[in-house]
Amino acid sequence: MLSIVKSMSLQGLEGILINVEVDISAGMPSWEVVGLPDTSIRESKERVRTAIKNCGIQVLSRKYIINLSPANIKKEGSMLDLAIAVGILRSMDVISSDDDLENTIIVGELSLNGTINKVNGILPICIEALKYGIKRVIVPKENAKEAAIVGELDVVGVSSLTEVIKYLNDEIKIEKEVVDIQKILKNNRLKKVDFIEVKGQETIKRALEISAAGGHNCLMIGSPGSGKTMMARRLPTILPDLTFEESLEITKIHSIAGKLDNNNLITERPFRSPHHTISANGLIGGGKIPKPGEVSLSHYGVLFLDELLEFNKNTLEVLRGPLEDRIVTISRVGASLTYPCNFMLVASMNPCPCGYLGSKEKECTCTQKQKEHYKTKLSGPLLDRFDIHIQVPSVDYKKLESKSGESSENIRTRVNNARNIQLDRYAGTGIYSNSELTPRLIEQYCTLDKESSDILSMSFQKLNLSARAYSKILKVARTIADLDESENIQKIHLLEAIQYRSLDRL
Amino acid sequence: MTRIQEISIDSDLYPEKLRNIKKPPYKLYTIGNLELLNKPSIAIVGTRHITEYGTRNCKNFAQKITEQGIPIISGMAIGTDSVAHKTALEFGGETIAVLPSGFDNVYPKENEKLFQKIIDKNGLVVTEYPPQVSANSARFLERNRIVSGLSEGVLVIESAFRSGTSVTAKLAYQQGRVVMALPGRLDNSFGVGVNKLIQNGAKLVTDIEDIIELFPQFMNKKWKNNTYLQESFFDVKDEYSEIVSILRGKVLSVEEIVQKTKEKNLRETINLLMNMELEGIVEEKLGEGYTLI
């Protein structure tokens, strides 16, 4: 007898509705899975057969054909196990309810003893399922909370195959999983770190505030122990608040990558700091069927590259496209997928090879030649990526730790304010922050008065600023003006913006 | 460059001490304060690859020598020479730069600003080459004989074994100049040359007193407590004067400058510093902070 059960597979962030068609007929006993399954799905027949057997149901020797339609798309992952099992049990008449499962998708991985294990990517599956008009999802118990975030679906969390059989045969009722999104959003306001813990370093705080307000990429230069990483870690606490849509999108990506710890909505902007030995694929994403990389995992958050110059040159090179386009398309044999990656790049580096140039604790042992050579490593394209360069002076560590700085809450209020000004101004232009300004928009929104434009042209002559510095200075000046709630860019805004081009001025 | 003055060997302006060295330059091209040519002065020389240790001590000695009112001579190369010239200027002193090239091809190019500054601040630049001549390695050594020749004594900051600096020291010996050296660090290749010099008889100096003792002519009251060391030497706008006095002889981060000012906040200070940088009064150094040019 033929039975059809619906499930879903993911290609990147896109869900594909899959009909699992099972037919059991007389003939040579065999199990065949067709419809471009990958190894993990082909192996599922063994898991399914054993799981059914261990639930006390006899699996007869028959010819079992399992087709995954549409049959021309490659499918991967163990999430189809449960749907296949349900299909077989329906064909075997073990599940015999009138429930036609027309508007239901079933997702989950089976253990040999019949328990249902959690799978990755539940949130995007549920969001995509809505688009196909699905009303109910049957998911592993552990994933139920994550699925319930979507809200409009009936989420049924199940923990074993026996439970599923009973549920579908109407022998038991399972409560729909519900989560209170407002509560989750509120609960997560408690931050682990805060700028209040940072005393001094006012220049850096100011620079990070500007970065956060305008979404500018920021490069910090300072000796080891000057607090670069410490400050960067606190950056997410002053970033503008996440909207529910942004949260959902971040959670989707983390769900696919299997990086969702508590199967809950992510309500904090991500902060990713990959080690400098990371490969290009690790950074932008990759694999036979591409998985999201660090750039996508830091979507709507911060990508922090500590010791920037230690990164492989090619690795940094691949960042150029994603930084411009805010999406990354990865093409492999298996698929060509696009992930979003709208992140803020923050990096740190030492001022010289030994790291202690200008440090108060330790003496720099570099020669002039080494220092010159080090500077040449800072190539144009690399500097091109940062709107703000800021030098971090070394300070006494004890001083750094004592509590007396301004709280993140205060700073975030100003940042939010400046962001709202930008959102209003750019409404309808398709951009959201000053960092995204195109040359044409810069001309429109970053006008200078006579005095300021004189200063700008003078600074180009005197400080050897490069042409690429021009638009960066104007964008940053625009953000500083927004923080001051000033309609126009004034001289003080411009001068401060020029100050943040340390490396261009060398 | 119209202010170039040519002084030939038979001119009255030609310094006597230079006339007595082996192969004296036939003609000197100069811009700036000619008085300095005949003033007793001290040369500071050393490697172009100066270390932190060298920089610190070079600054210290240059400051002390300047405070005694003694002009500092050097070769305007990068590294030690630049530090010496800059410190002298920072403390309102006089300095003489001897170039290995003509004035149309100021060498090294990075120091064009410094070149201008020396002239503007009542210093002197000297070369034996006509304006269109460019620098080459042979001319560095020829230049060095004038550096030592114009001075009373040569202070060596740091040098590698068998380097250009060692050659200068040797020339200074031959010209009968006093050779002084800073003790070099044992764990650094740029400490080897100076320590060798000390072994060969150079005077080890640890303090300005050691230098004064070597030169009776500097004991003369006339040179002591000179009056150029006045604030007015820096004719900067009033609004900058506080930061200029904070920065004198130091490299400070923005943060430290803010702390040292009386009542300026971060943004005011940043704005002032940027204005000063545009006017060429201060510059920002990678990793170190702001310093006077």
Contact A496 B270 (CB under 8 A): yes
pLDDT of res. A85: 94
Task: List CB contacts (< 8 A) between A506 and chain B.
Answer: 284, 286
User: What integer pLDDT is reported at residue B219 of this predicted model?
Assistant: 65
Q: Determine the pLDDT at residue A398.
A: 59
More confident residue, B72 or A385: B72
Instruction: State the pLDDT at residue A274.
Output: 93
Which of A201, A492, A503 has its CB closest to that of B271? A492
Six token digits for residue A330: 């990865």
Question: Which pLDDT does position A189 carry in this prediction?
Answer: 58
Name the phi and psi angles at A172, rounded to 5. -130, 160
Give residue B100's pLDDT.
93
Report DSSP state, residue A310.
G
Most confident region among A272-276, A310-314, A502-506 by mean pLDDT:
A272-276
The Cα–Cα gap between A79 and A8 comes to 8
pLDDT band at A399 (very low <50, low <70, confident <90, very high): low
Q: Averaged over A387-405, what is the pLDDT?
A: 71
What does pLDDT average to over chain B? 85
A67 has pLDDT over 90: yes
Q: Are B86 and B113 in contact (CB under 8 A)?
A: no
B266 and A459: CB-CB below 8 Å? Answer: no
DSSP of A175-228: PPP---HHHHHHHTT--S--GGG--S-HHHHHHHHHHHHHT--EEEEE-TTSSH
Tens digits of residue pLDDT in B125-137: 999 999 999 988 8
Q: Which amino acid is at B13?
A: L
pLDDT at residue B56, rounded to an integer: 85
Best CA proximity match to B176, nearest among B154, B197, B193: B154
Given CB atoms, is B273 within the 8 Å cutoff of chain A?
yes
Comparing A366 with A397, the larger pLDDT belongs to A366
More confident residue, A146 or A373: A146
pLDDT at A109 over 90: yes
CB nearest to B286's CB, from A202, A351, A458: A351
Q: What pLDDT sits at residue B221?
A: 45
What integer is the mean pLDDT of A155-159?
A: 93
What is the per-residue pLDDT for B224? 45
ipTM: 0.73
pTM: 0.75
Contact B266 A498 (CB under 8 A): no
From B110, which residue of chain A is nearest by alpha-carbon distance?
A506
A362 pLDDT more than 90: no
% chain A with pLDDT above 70: 96
CA distance linking residue A402 with residue A52, whole number of Å:
61
pLDDT of residue B222: 45
- Other residues' Cβ atoms within 10 Å of the Cβ of residue B240: 18
Q: Which residues of A touch B270 (CB under 8 A)?
A: 203, 495-496, 499
pLDDT for position A199: 75
The chain A residue lying nearest B265, using CA atoms, is A202
CA distances from B181 to B49, B87, B176, B214 (A): 17, 18, 16, 13
pLDDT of residue A191: 66
Confidence label for A156 from pLDDT (cuts 50, 70 and 90): very high
pLDDT tens, N- to C-terminus, chain B (293 residues):
458 899 999 888 899 888 888 889 999 999 998 888 888 899 999 998 888 888 888 988 998 898 888 999 999 998 899 999 999 988 888 999 999 999 998 988 888 888 998 998 889 999 999 999 998 888 998 999 999 999 999 999 999 888 888 888 988 999 989 999 999 888 888 888 899 999 988 999 988 888 888 887 776 544 444 444 444 445 677 788 888 888 887 888 888 888 888 888 888 888 888 888 888 788 887 777 888 77
Residues in A whose CB is inside 8 Å of some CB of B read: 200-203, 206, 221-223, 350-352, 357-358, 363-369, 371, 375, 391, 393, 395, 455, 458-459, 462-463, 492, 495-496, 498-499, 502-503, 505-506
The two three-digit tokens of residue B115, written as one number: 């070149």
CB B184 within 8 A of CB B46: no
First-last CA distance in chain B:
22
**Mean pLDDT score of chain A, rounded to an integer?**
87
- Which tokens in the block code for residue A449? 């008065």
Lowest mean pLDDT among A73-82, A401-410, B185-194: A401-410
pLDDT, tens digit, 9 for 90 and up, residues A412-470: 999 999 999 998 898 888 788 898 888 888 888 888 888 888 888 888 877 777 777 88
Q: How far does A340 lie from chain B, in Å, by closest CA?
A: 35
Q: Shortest CA distance to A222 belongs to which of A239, A240, A201, A237?
A: A201
Query: Each residue of B71-86: b (16+ CB within 10 Å) or e?
Result: bbbbbbbbbbbbbbbb
Q: What is the pLDDT of residue A493?
A: 92
The token duo for B153 is 């004594």
| Contact state of A502 with B266 under an 8 Å Cβ cutoff | no
As given in the structure block, the two tokens for residue A315 are 């690795």
